[in-house]
């Protein structure tokens, strides 16, 4: 028999949104269960310095997430290392199943499954994944000491990855499809003045090339998007940093989504199209996608779940008996 676990609030995801929801829901005495997923701590565990988390001029992403987890535990959240592989939102209590086989039921659900890295979709990218192609400089940068690497993308992630890689690589080439970056100005400034960085403006990557035995990257074929001219940039590592897509696979057929899969929430609220189901963080936010905004939405979701549960409890209470007529 699979193990069954019931909670008033089930929180799915352990990024800033999930842990903040857990802190608020625990302090509201809702005794939440939080299921961490395959990336405990979420996206910030694959970065280094975080410099815009209020209260910390600089904090390491993984350290911040360890502190958030400890905070959620300290106030009473039950944190479970499991991954939800299916969820049924058609009836209350809602039912979810974990990879462990555990069946979770809950009166309210807070979805905080965040986002995942996007890939270019090239067959050669797929072939060399794990053999020179990566979406995480923090995880893999160390392997490229004294070697040349290429990063593709023009947002905050690409610029941060490129800067981080200058700690190891002899040269970092940033390939971007336009002639200006969308990254924050302060990051751009650091990038432009770093002598190890070269920027290839107006270029796309067409193919990753490399050796067969042992399998390994040796370069990327890049194309000038205006002239069409193709050149090869030698490198041992190729880092894809072209953004993130919301992790809404679990619920996309049950909840309203938009803008490529982001879960739709009501204005000024984390309420989704199903009463009792709330969504917070990068799963729903196609605009800001920051740790602090995710945490803020986690707080909102817990407060809204608390109100929802109080309302259904009140509705379920029997009507007081009518006074007998004199």
* Separation of alpha carbons 76 and 31, rounded Å: 7
Active site includes 136?
Answer: yes
Q: In the window 45-104, what residues touch ligand NAP (CB under 6 A)?
A: 52
Least spacing, CB of residue 191 vs ligand FAD, in Å: 15
Give the one entry of ligand NAP, ligand FAD, none that residue 243 binds, where binding means its C-beta sits below a cut-off of 5 to 8 angstroms depending on kind: ligand NAP
Least spacing, CB of residue 22 vs ligand NAP, in Å: 22
Active site includes 202?
Answer: no
* Separation of alpha carbons 248 and 123, rounded Å: 24
Least spacing, CB of residue 51 vs ligand NAP, in Å: 7
DSSP code of residue 129:
B
Give the one entry of ligand FAD, ligand NAP, none that residue 73 binds, where binding means its C-beta sits below a cut-off of 5 to 8 angstroms depending on kind: none
Q: In the window 210-249, what residues touch ligand NAP (CB under 6 A)?
A: 242-244
Give the alpha-carbon dihedral of 296, 301, 303, 307, to 10 degrees. Answer: 160
* Separation of alpha carbons 144 and 216, rounded Å: 12
Residue number with CB closer to ligand FAD (204 or 292)? 292
101-125 as b/e: b if 16+ CB within 10 A: ebebbbbbbbbbbbbebeebebebb
* Separation of alpha carbons 224 and 62, rounded Å: 37
The SS3 assignment for 69 reads helix
* Separation of alpha carbons 45 and 24, rounded Å: 22
Active site includes 235?
Answer: no
Residue 45 CA, chain-centre distance (Å), reads 10
Least spacing, CB of residue 251 vs ligand NAP, in Å: 21
Residues that bind ligand FAD (CB under 6 A): 12-18, 35-40, 42-44, 46-47, 50, 52, 83-84, 112-115, 157, 160, 247, 250, 281-283, 289-292, 294
Q: Tell me the site size for ligand NAP, rule CB under 6 A.
A: 18
Which residues participate in catalysis according to the annotation?
136, 139-140
Q: Which residues bind ligand NAP (CB under 6 A)?
A: 52, 120, 152-158, 160, 177-178, 182, 242-244, 289-290
């Amino acid at each position: 028999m699979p193990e069954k676990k019931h909670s008033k609030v089930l929180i799915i995801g352990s990024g800033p949104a999930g842990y903040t929801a857990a802190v608020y829901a625990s302090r509201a005495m809702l005794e939440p269960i939080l299921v961490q997923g395959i990336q405990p701590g979420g996206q910030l565990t694959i970065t280094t310095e975080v410099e815009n988390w209020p209260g910390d001029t600089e904090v390491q992403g993984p350290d911040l997430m360890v502190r958030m987890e400890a905070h959620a535990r300290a106030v009473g959240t039950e944190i479970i290392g499991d991954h939800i592989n299916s969820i049924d939102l058609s009836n209350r209590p809602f039912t979810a199943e974990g990879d462990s086989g555990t069946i979770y039921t809950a009166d309210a659900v807070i979805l905080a499954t965040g986002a995942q890295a996007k890939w270019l979709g090239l067959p050669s990218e797929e072939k060399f994944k794990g053999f020179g192609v990566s979406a995480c400089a923090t995880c893999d940068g160390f392997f490229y000491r004294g070697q040349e690497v290429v990063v593709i993308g023009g947002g905050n992630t690409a610029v941060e990855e490129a800067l981080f890689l200058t700690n190891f690589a002899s040269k970092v080439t940033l390939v971007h499809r336009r002639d200006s970056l969308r990254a924050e100005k302060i990051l751009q400034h650091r990038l432009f003045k770093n002598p190890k960085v070269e920027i290839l403006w107006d270029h796309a990557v067409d193919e990753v090339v490399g050796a067969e035995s042992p399998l390994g990257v040796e370069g990327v074929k890049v194309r000038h998007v205006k002239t069409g001219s193709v050149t090869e940039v030698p490198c041992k590592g190729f880092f894809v940093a072209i953004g993130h897509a919301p992790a809404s696979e679990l619920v996309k057929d049950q909840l309203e989504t938009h803008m490529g899969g982001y879960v739709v929430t009501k204005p000024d609220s984390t309420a989704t199209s199903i009463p009792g189901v709330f969504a917070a963080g990068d799963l729903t936010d196609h605009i800001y996608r920051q740790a602090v905004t995710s945490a803020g939405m986690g707080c909102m979701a817990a407060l809204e779940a608390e109100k929802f549960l109080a309302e259904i409890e009140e509705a379920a209470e029997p009507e007081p008996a009518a006074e007998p007529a004199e």
